[in-house]
Amino acid sequence: MNAPQVVELERSIRFCLRSDGTLDSDAPKDNTHAAWPPMVGLGRYYEMHVLCVGPIDPCTGYFLNIKQIDQAVRDEALLLISAAAQRSEQALGPVLASAFNAVVKQLGPVVQRIRLALTPYFIVGLEQSNMNQLLISHRYEFAAAHRLHADSLSEEENVQVFGKCNNPSGHGHNYKVEVTVVVDVDSPVGAGTLDAIVDRVVIERFDHKHLNIDTAEFAEMNPSVEHIARVCFELLADEVISVGQLVEVKVWETDKTVCAYRGS
């Protein structure tokens, strides 16, 4: 007998709160793709991402009906987040833990992780494997030029390997950097301290620079997206201790190319 096919299924639930944090639970569900409840005036927009893991049903081809995930979040989790917003809650870990448990109550232990996007760039998450720690991810950007060139290769080999990226004058990217730290679940959540550290350690160092020429880190190292992700991680690892433990740095070279580094 063949073993059951196990998949990861992630569902995003978009919702809006009124400016005072209250939830319009009677709003019509005419456009749940954008958000339900919908936006009213200067309200608040959030996204909750629910990751579930389990076997595919050989009859339906489903592992889990996505409508069940939507309902599990909307039945109780949104009310918990709304209540926290009205209290101007700063420690979001306990709120997320309560929301996590509310979703698990309906869907069962297949729920592995939930993440709450407070903005499109600032996300807090909780994983079933460690409910005592909260994952905080924030995204940044810098613009830089670089040239990909290996001194150990001939000119012809460099062109063959790196193509246009071997242009002697270099070329540029708008890099996006996502930094993820883990903190105690009861810690207050805010981006300000992390922002200041990343700005000082990474952005000021690399922004509007030619990485090969203007930075010590890449004077003798090829500034590939792989190396940039690793260097950013190593620069930040000791600096972010005042916020939490660094667990991952992701760097997007383009919308099509991203590299994640999690340390050695």
**CA-CA distance, 163 to 166, in Å (whole number)?**
6
CB 16 within 8 A of CB 37: yes
The residues near 38 (Cβ < 8 Å, ≥ 6 apart) are: 16, 24, 27, 30, 31
Point out which residues pair with 8 in neighbouring strands.
53
Active-site residue, selected from the candidate residues 165, 210, 217, 234: 165
Phi, psi dihedrals of residue 242, rounded to the nearest 5°: -65, -20
Phi, psi dihedrals of residue 152, rounded to the nearest 5°: -75, -10
Name the amino acid, one letter, at 64. L
The residues near 223 (Cβ < 8 Å, ≥ 6 apart) are: 146, 147, 148, 211, 212
Question: Which of 133, 130, 96, 127 is CA-nearest to residue 112?
Answer: 127
Clarify whether 208 is annotated catalytic.
yes
Q: What angle do CA 77, 49, 20 make, to 5 degrees?
A: 50
Strand (E) positions, 5-66?
6-17, 44-55
Clarify whether 253 is annotated catalytic.
yes
3-state class of 233 per DSSP?
helix
Clarify whether 33 is annotated catalytic.
no
Active-site residue, selected from the candidate residues 155, 157, 204, 208: 208
Report, as residue numbers or ranges, the catalytic residues: 165, 208, 253
